[in-house]
Amino acid sequence: MKKLCILLIFPFFTFNIVAQNEFSIYKDSFIEQLWSLYPSWASNSGYYKYNYKLNIPDEVNRKEQLVFSENQLAILNTISIDQLTLADKTDFFLIRDFLKNIPWELNELKEYEWNPSIYNVNGDFSYLLNTEYAPLEDRLRTINEKMKYVAAYFEAAKSNIKNPTIEHTKLAIEQNKNSVDVFSDDIPKAVELANLTKEEKIAILENATACKKSVLSFVTFLEKMPNLHPRDFRLGKELYVTKFSQQIQSEYNSDELFYMALNRKKYLHEQMFHYTQVLWKDYFTNKAIPKDTIVAIRMMIDTLSAKHIKAEDFQTSIEKHIPLLVDFINNKNLIYLDPSKPLEVRKEPAYMAGVAGASISSPGPYDKESKTYYNVGSIEGWPKDKQESYLREYNNYILQILDIHEAIPGHYTQGIYANQSPSIIKTILGNGAMIEGWAVYSELMMLENGYGNNSPEMWLMYYKWNLRSTCNTILDIGVHTQNMSKEDALDLLTRQAFQQKAEAEGKWNRVQLSNVQLCSYFSGFKEIIDLREAYKKEQGAAYSVKTFNEEFLSYGSIPVKYIKQLMLNKQK
Ligand code: ZN
Ligand code: ZN
């Protein structure tokens, strides 16, 4: 009897397994070809086979990418999705969406023509020099191989560029000027320390000198190029709408998200004024509260921002804070934290310096067991007024929220869960809006559960922080699709979002140089909050925030709209 059952079930199962095996073989070949076509991306993901390669960004290479997209999509068309597991289905969608995007980027967006700042080899060479994936000698030999492509790389760049934007041209000049150090200082220093033959050393140094020349010739080319009809840095509505849908992969379009962000801003202002009223007497005893709510909120924020740490304590205060976050989460039972996965707070390594105040370096898909680093930039060398402004921005309240966002249960925790899902596809084609959205959601989730003892100060500062990601969306869509002026942008950021002038100017620079990415924070946040509401309703009495958090993260870094399909209506 038992045997018969097995026989009956067997054909059904084999079918399924064949489909899965086929798909898993397909994925392996897809990834191998992907890495060979995008060697820098491969290196950065911890796949080192193509470290020696540097793509020449010419017509031939663009053709290769188009053929890759076409061929791979044709193969995908032969796979029947119905027979795949849920996890494979989402991999399938991620690959398909990625491949569909390639022709659009090359034929419509054409960033290779108007954005000279995409031409920069500093990251590639610094990465090989600073990542100890192999002995220094081997890495220098690989660097030497790779340096042979640099001249052709910049020649192709020069012939690609047509009517570039003034802003990206300026950035390209600055960044490339700064990047010559890797060839004139860093590589020669490493050569000195390395155990190589005299001939090898001479060859590497000669190639490094040639690379430096190529970089500088690109800089001169940009400086001298007549650019009579520069492209507007504003992407324009048509391109923006498509890029938004492909990159954010939200169930909303950019117009819908824009109005949701405006509503959120209104809500946040109401909340902030409420807490300002609650706190007013404690801080301004006899002073009447201003009629203009924005002015009142600003006064309260300025007062609370004075509570901040000293510049030299920045890193130690983060180090002390991390275990407190772990305790809080465990006590409140908010999400399982794997104690065997270390998080190390470290001073930002020199080659990253100046990029950001704090960031997370997560282990890549090929070295899941290695440490996660919380990189903290030192501000000790800064001028006093700049230091003060930064410390007021990252005051005692905001600094705690920053740790939640970057580390626990934000980016660090999400990264650990993502690495548990055995899909390399989800790790390499991960969705930025889901990743940022989770970090932004985790801040609110902590406060809702009593983090900061529900103090009005903490809530007020939290809302100010949340207003930042909300206004990032208003700014990005406004500037790139609605011609928002610099004046209006600065008013939005400084007056309506209570930011320091320096911070707002920095954001204005960023929105001139990037597009769409600034929407990822609010977009992901909004969709996660909505999904949690729907999930709560569906679960009824069985709902717990821990179950939601853990299940949500278990699918890996895929667009929230796909997670929604997997989490809701499971019975159906
Ligand atoms: Zn101060
Ligand atoms: Zn983030």
Say what the pLDDT of residue 500 is.
84
CA distances from 350 to 45, 61, 453 (A): 20, 33, 38
Say what the pLDDT of residue 332 is.
98
Tell me how far the alpha carbon of residue 392 lies from the centroid of ligand 1, in angstroms: 6
| Per-chain residues with Cβ under 5 A from ion ligand 2 | 436, 439
Return all residues near 243 (Cβ < 8 A) that are at least 6 apart: 109, 235, 515, 516
User: Could you tell me which of 429, 411, 524 has the C-alpha nearest to residue 470?
Assistant: 524
Return all residues near 319 (Cβ < 8 A) that are at least 6 apart: 345
**pLDDT tens digits, one per residue of 252-288:** 999 999 999 999 999 999 999 999 999 999 999 999 9
Say what the pLDDT of residue 352 is.
66
Ligand that comes closest to the CA of residue 396: 1
- Among all chains, which residue has been given the structure tokens 């399924």? 16
Torsion angles phi and psi, residue 308, rounded to 5: -145, 165
Q: For residues 11 and 271, which has the higher predicted lDDT (pLDDT)?
A: 271
Tell me how far the alpha carbon of residue 399 lies from the centroid of ligand 1, in angstroms: 14
Mean pLDDT of the chain: 92
Query: Which three-class secondary structure string do you get for 142-200?
Result: HHHHHHCCHHHHHHHHHHHCCCCCHHHHHHHHHHHHHHCHHHHHHHHHHHHHCCCCHHH
Tell me how far the alpha carbon of residue 269 lies from the centroid of ligand 1, in angstroms: 25
Ligand that comes closest to the CA of residue 524: 2
**pLDDT tens digits, one per residue of 225-251:** 999 999 999 999 999 999 999 999 999
**pLDDT tens digits, one per residue of 520-561:** 999 999 999 999 999 999 999 999 999 999 999 999 899 999
Statement: residue 118 has pLDDT above 50: yes
Tell me how far the alpha carbon of residue 421 lies from the centroid of ligand 2, in angstroms: 21
Query: Which one-letter DSSP state was computed for residue 373?
Result: E
* Confidence bin at 412 (pLDDT 50/70/90): very high
Tell me how far the alpha carbon of residue 518 lies from the centroid of ligand 2, in angstroms: 11
Ligand that comes closest to the CA of residue 362: 2
User: Could you tell me which of 403, 418, 410 has the C-alpha nearest to residue 363?
Assistant: 418
What 3-state class would DSSP assign to 475?
helix
Percent of the chain clearing pLDDT 90 (strictly above): 79
Tell me how far the alpha carbon of residue 311 lies from the centroid of ligand 1, in angstroms: 10
Tell me how far the alpha carbon of residue 86 lies from the centroid of ligand 2, in angstroms: 27
Statement: residue 9 has pLDDT above 80: no
Say what the pLDDT of residue 5 is.
34
Return all residues near 464 (Cβ < 8 A) that are at least 6 apart: 272, 301, 398, 497, 498
Tell me how far the alpha carbon of residue 306 lies from the centroid of ligand 1, in angstroms: 5
Tell me how far the alpha carbon of residue 228 lies from the centroid of ligand 2, in angstroms: 38
Tell me the C-alpha distance between 520 and 469, whole Å.
9
Ligand that comes closest to the CA of residue 440: 2
Ligand that comes closest to the CA of residue 302: 1
Ligand that comes closest to the CA of residue 306: 1
Tell me the C-alpha distance between 429 and 249, whole Å.
12
Compute how many other C-beta atoms are within 10 angstroms of the C-beta atom of residue 281. Answer: 11
Tell me how far the alpha carbon of residue 303 lies from the centroid of ligand 1, in angstroms: 10
Return all residues near 400 (Cβ < 8 A) that are at least 6 apart: 321, 451, 452, 458
Tell me how far the alpha carbon of residue 359 lies from the centroid of ligand 2, in angstroms: 8
Residue count of the chain = 572
What 3-state class would DSSP assign to 303?
helix
Tell me how far the alpha carbon of residue 395 lies from the centroid of ligand 1, in angstroms: 9
Tell me the C-alpha distance between 555 and 561, whole Å.
12
Average pLDDT on 513-521 reads: 96
What one-letter code names the amino acid at 65?
A: Q
Statement: residue 210 has pLDDT above 70: yes
Q: Kindly give the pairing relationship between strand 358-361 and strand 372-376.
A: antiparallel
Statement: residue 12 has pLDDT above 50: no
Query: Which one-letter DSSP state was computed for residue 284?
Result: S
Statement: residue 14 has pLDDT above 50: no
**pLDDT tens digits, one per residue of 322-378:** 999 999 999 999 999 999 888 999 988 766 655 457 888 887 788 777 788 999 888
Say what the pLDDT of residue 324 is.
97
With residue 374 as reference, give the H or E element that holds it. Answer: strand 372-376
The dihedral of CA 342, 348, 349, 351: what is its sign? positive
Tell me how far the alpha carbon of residue 382 lies from the centroid of ligand 1, in angstroms: 14
Tell me how far the alpha carbon of residue 313 lies from the centroid of ligand 1, in angstroms: 13
Average pLDDT on 497-510 reads: 90
Which of 168-172, 420-424, 465-469, 497-501 has the least mean pLDDT? 420-424
Compute how many other C-beta atoms are within 10 angstroms of the C-beta atom of residue 352. Answer: 14
Statement: residue 316 has pLDDT above 90: yes
Tell me the C-alpha distance between 47 and 451, whole Å.
40
- Return the structure tokens found at 422: 């055995």
Ligand that comes closest to the CA of residue 384: 1
Best mean pLDDT range from 18-27, 53-62, 338-347, 493-502? 53-62
Return all residues near 481 (Cβ < 8 A) that are at least 6 apart: 234, 235, 236, 237, 240, 241, 254
Statement: residue 70 has pLDDT above 80: yes
Average pLDDT on 200-217 reads: 98
What one-letter code names the amino acid at 38?
A: Y
Average pLDDT on 447-462 reads: 98
Tell me the C-alpha distance between 517 and 362, whole Å.
20
Statement: residue 6 has pLDDT above 60: no
Say what the pLDDT of residue 18 is.
67
Ligand that comes closest to the CA of residue 359: 2
CA distances from 108 to 38, 153, 168, 214, 238 (A): 20, 22, 18, 29, 10
Tell me how far the alpha carbon of residue 354 lies from the centroid of ligand 1, in angstroms: 22
Tell me how far the alpha carbon of residue 235 lies from the centroid of ligand 2, in angstroms: 24
Tell me the C-alpha distance between 572 and 121, whole Å.
51
Tell me how far the alpha carbon of residue 503 lies from the centroid of ligand 2, in angstroms: 17
Domain-wise residue ranges, the chain: 7-109, 116-224, 263-339+382-566
User: Could you tell me which of 529, 538, 545, 544 has the C-alpha nearest to residue 569?
Assistant: 538
Ligand that comes closest to the CA of residue 305: 1
Say what the pLDDT of residue 16 is.
62
Ligand that comes closest to the CA of residue 358: 2
Compute how many other C-beta atoms are within 10 angstroms of the C-beta atom of residue 32. Answer: 13
Tell me how far the alpha carbon of residue 473 lies from the centroid of ligand 2, in angstroms: 14
The dihedral of CA 257, 263, 264, 269: what is its sign? positive
Tell me how far the alpha carbon of residue 438 lies from the centroid of ligand 2, in angstroms: 9
Say what the pLDDT of residue 17 is.
65
User: Could you tell me which of 90, 44, 148 has the C-alpha nearest to residue 430?
Assistant: 90
Ligand that comes closest to the CA of residue 442: 2
Tell me how far the alpha carbon of residue 370 lies from the centroid of ligand 2, in angstroms: 21
Say what the pLDDT of residue 4 is.
33
Tell me how far the alpha carbon of residue 526 lies from the centroid of ligand 2, in angstroms: 15
CA distances from 233 to 171, 185, 223, 476, 481 (A): 12, 34, 18, 12, 11
Tell me how far the alpha carbon of residue 436 lies from the centroid of ligand 2, in angstroms: 5
- Among all chains, which residue has been given the structure tokens 């548990």? 420
- Return the structure tokens found at 334: 């908010």
**pLDDT tens digits, one per residue of 146-183:** 999 999 999 999 999 999 999 999 999 999 998 899 99
Average pLDDT on 507-511 reads: 94
Residue 128 in contact with residue 31, Cβ under 8 Å? Answer: no
What 3-state class would DSSP assign to 375?
strand
